[in-house]
Amino acid sequence: MSKSQTILDLSECIKLARELDILGDYEKALSKYQTALNLVTQRKSEVSDSSLKENWGQVETLINNEIKMTQEALKFAQTFQNNDETRLERAKQEEIRNQNLMRNNQEQKNEIQYDPKWERFGGMRPFEIWEKDEPEDPKERDPDVWSPPKVKPNNRGFNRGRLVNYDPNAAAKAQAGKGQNPKGKDTGKKGGKEEEDRKKGKSAFYLHYYPNGEGPDGELIEMIEREVMERSPNVKFDDIAELEEAKITLKEAVLLPLLMPDFFRGVRRPWKGVLLYGPPGTGKTLLAKALATQGKTTFFSVSPTTFASKWKGESEKLVRILFEMARFYAPSTVFIDEVDALGQKRGDGDNEASRKVLAEMLVQMDGVSGKLDQEDLSVEELKKNIVMVMGATNLPWDLDEALRRRFEKKVYIPLPNSVGRREMFRINTKGLEVAKNIDWDRLVLKTEGYSGADIANICREASLITMREILKRTGGRIDFTLIRDHPSFVMKQLQAPVTQSNFDEAVKYIPSSVSQSEVKKYEQFRDEYSNK
C-alpha cells in the first residue's frame, strides 16, 4: 500500500470515528478507530527509516488515546441504560419524594387559620396588611365593597404595605397651593420670588394664558411657539416665478384687509379661509409665506403631524391652543400644509380621534372672524382680530364638505406656463456659472408640463453632471487627500460652467412628475368649486 493511499484511508477512518463519537454511537466509533490503528501499524512495519517509524509511532499513540476516551464514554453511557432493577429503584425513590412533598404542603395548610374577614377567599388571608392592634368587625362593612382600613391619626407614610393618612384631595390641594385650582385654571395668587422664577423666560401668550407662569398645558404652548410659530418667513413675491393671477387674487383676499381694515367689516369681512390647490411643486407654500412676509403677520406653519399625540384629547387641545395663540398674536396667518390629510371626508370607518380633531378645527375656523362683524370696533381692534387660515393640498376633491365650505376662497395654482418656466430657470441658476450659448427657448419647450420643483431638480442635476465629468477625467475616483490639502484648487476645477448638453441630459434623467390626466382633474375641480 502506498503512503498517499494510507494517509487518505486513515483520514477517512478518523473523520468517521469522530463523527460517530459526536452522535453517541461509541461502538461503531471504536471499530473505525481500530481500522485506523491497523492501518498505522501496517504502515509502521513497512517503513525502514527510523524517523518515519517515530512519526507513525506518534500517530499510533494519538489514536490509542482517542480509543481510551471513547471506551470511557461508552462505559459512562451504559450506566444510563434502563434495566429493570434500575427502573424500579428510580420509581420507588420518586414515590417517596412525592409523599414528602405532599406531607409538607399539608403541614403548611394546617398552620393557616381561618379568618372571617376573608370568607370570600376561602377564609385565608392572601396578604398581611392589617394591624394586630386594630381589630375590625366584619359586620361594620359590606364584604363586597372595599373601603380603606382604619388607621391611627399619628401614623405616617407606608405601614406594612398600605398607605396611611390617605387624602383623596391631596393632588388638588397641592395644585391649588401653586396658584392653580383643580381644573387647571389660574387663581391669580402671587407667590413672590418663586412665582418670578416660574415666569422667567415665558412668552407673552404663555403669561396671558397662565399669569402665574405655570399650568397643565404649558408644554403644548411652548411646543407650538418653538416649532410652529414664525415671526417673518422672509419670502418675497419676487422669489416666485409667474403665477400673477394667483398673486393678485391672494393679495386682494389677504393683504387688502390688513391695509384697509375699516372697509373690510360686516358683509365685507375678510375670508375665513383660503385654499391653495393644484399639482405638487407649483409654489403653494411659497405663496403663503410671501403673503405673511408682505403683510407682516405672525406665521403659523402647521402640518397634520403637528396635531398627532398618543394622549387622548391632546390633539384637539393643540388645535384650540393654536387658534387662541393666533388670535393673541393677530394679525396672523395659520397655514395648514397637506390639509387633505387632516380633513378627509368623514365616513363610518373613521378613527374617533381624527373625527374630533376635524370637529375642533371646524369650530375654531368658524370663530376666527367673529369679532369683525361688530360695528363699534376701532381700526386697531379690527386689525388685531384678523386671523387668516390658509390651506394647501394636492387632493382638493378628498376634503370634507364642511371643511371645504370654510375655505371660502379657493385659488387654483396651475403648472407654470412658458414664461414661468423661463423665469424659474433664471431663478434656479442664479448661483451657478452657466455657459453663454444656452438655448433657453429650447429648454422651455422641452419642459412643457413640468412643475416648478421639477425644473429646480433639472438645474441641480445639470450642475452635478459637470462635477461627474471632471471626476471621470481623473479616473472616476475622488482624491480626498487632494481635497483636504488643496481645497481652493479642487473648487476651481469643479466650478466649470454648466453647458447646453448638461441641461439636455438632465431633462432626460428627470421626467415630469404630473400627468395630463391629473391636470384635467384639477381643472374639473376648479370649474366646479373654485372662485377663481
Same-domain check for residues 345 and 307 = yes
Same-domain check for residues 382 and 437 = no
| Domain-embedded: residue 403 | yes
Specify burial of residue 364 (Cβ count, 10 A radius: 0-12, 13-18, 19+).
buried
Share of the chain above pLDDT 70, in %: 73
Domain that holds residue 276: 227-412
Average pLDDT over residues 492-504: 83
State the DSSP code for 383. Answer: H
Q: For 209-216, which contacts have Cβ atoms below 8 Å and span 24 or more sequence positions? A: 209/324, 210/186, 211/186, 212/178, 212/179, 212/180, 212/186, 212/187, 212/188, 214/178, 214/179, 214/180, 215/180, 215/184, 215/186, 216/180, 216/184
Residue 132: is its pLDDT beyond 50?
Answer: no
How sure is the predictor about 185, in pLDDT bands with cuts at 50, 70 and 90? very low
| Domain-embedded: residue 103 | no
pLDDT, residue 427, reads: 87
pLDDT, residue 84, reads: 52
Average pLDDT over residues 428-434: 85
Same-domain check for residues 339 and 407 = yes
pLDDT, residue 472, reads: 66
pLDDT tens for residues 147-176? 444 444 444 443 434 444 445 455 445 544
Average pLDDT over residues 10-16: 85
Grid cell listed for 386: 384678523
Average pLDDT over residues 364-370: 72
How sure is the predictor about 88, in pLDDT bands with cuts at 50, 70 and 90? low
Grid cell listed for 390: 390658509
pLDDT tens for residues 252-308? 888 888 888 878 777 777 888 899 999 988 888 888 888 888 888 888 888 888 888
Average pLDDT over residues 498-504: 89
How sure is the predictor about 445, in pLDDT bands with cuts at 50, 70 and 90? very high
Higher pLDDT, 380 or 523: 523
Higher pLDDT, 417 or 378: 417
Final residue belonging to a domain, choices 412, 441, 461 = 412
Give phi and psi for 77, each to the nearest 5: -70, -35
d(CA 407, CA 102): 79
pLDDT, residue 179, reads: 47
Residue 146: is its pLDDT beyond 60?
Answer: no
CATH number at residue 336: 3.40.50.300
| Domain-embedded: residue 330 | yes
Considering its fold, how many domains does the chain have in total?
3
Same-domain check for residues 245 and 337 = yes
Contact 248, 241 (CB under 8 A): no
To the nearest whole number, what is the mean pLDDT of the chain?
A: 76
| Domain-embedded: residue 233 | yes
Lowest mean pLDDT among 132-146, 199-213, 247-261, 478-492: 132-146
| Domain-embedded: residue 176 | no
| Domain-embedded: residue 295 | yes
pLDDT tens for residues 232-258? 678 888 888 888 888 888 888 888 888
pLDDT, residue 139, reads: 47
Same-domain check for residues 370 and 465 = no
pLDDT, residue 359, reads: 87
How sure is the predictor about 473, in pLDDT bands with cuts at 50, 70 and 90? low
Share of the chain above pLDDT 90, in %: 4
| Domain-embedded: residue 275 | yes
Same-domain check for residues 348 and 487 = no
Residue 114: is its pLDDT beyond 70?
Answer: no
Same-domain check for residues 383 and 459 = no
Same-domain check for residues 267 and 405 = yes
Average pLDDT over residues 359-365: 87
Give phi and psi for 99, each to the nearest 5: -65, -40
β-pairing, 229-230 with 162-163?
A: unpaired
How sure is the predictor about 357, in pLDDT bands with cuts at 50, 70 and 90? confident
Average pLDDT over residues 61-90: 76
Q: 271: how many CB neighbours lie within 10 A of its CB?
A: 21
Contact 17, 62 (CB under 8 A): no
How sure is the predictor about 443, in pLDDT bands with cuts at 50, 70 and 90? very high
pLDDT, residue 215, reads: 83
Report which listed range, 107-121, 126-140, 335-349, is most confident.
335-349
Final residue belonging to a domain, choices 412, 437, 467 = 412
pTM of the model: 0.57
Please report the DSSP string for 448-501 in residue order. TT--HHHHHHHHHHHHHHHHHHHHHHTTS---HHHHHH-HHHHHHHH-PPB-HH
Higher pLDDT, 462 or 469: 462
| Domain-embedded: residue 207 | no
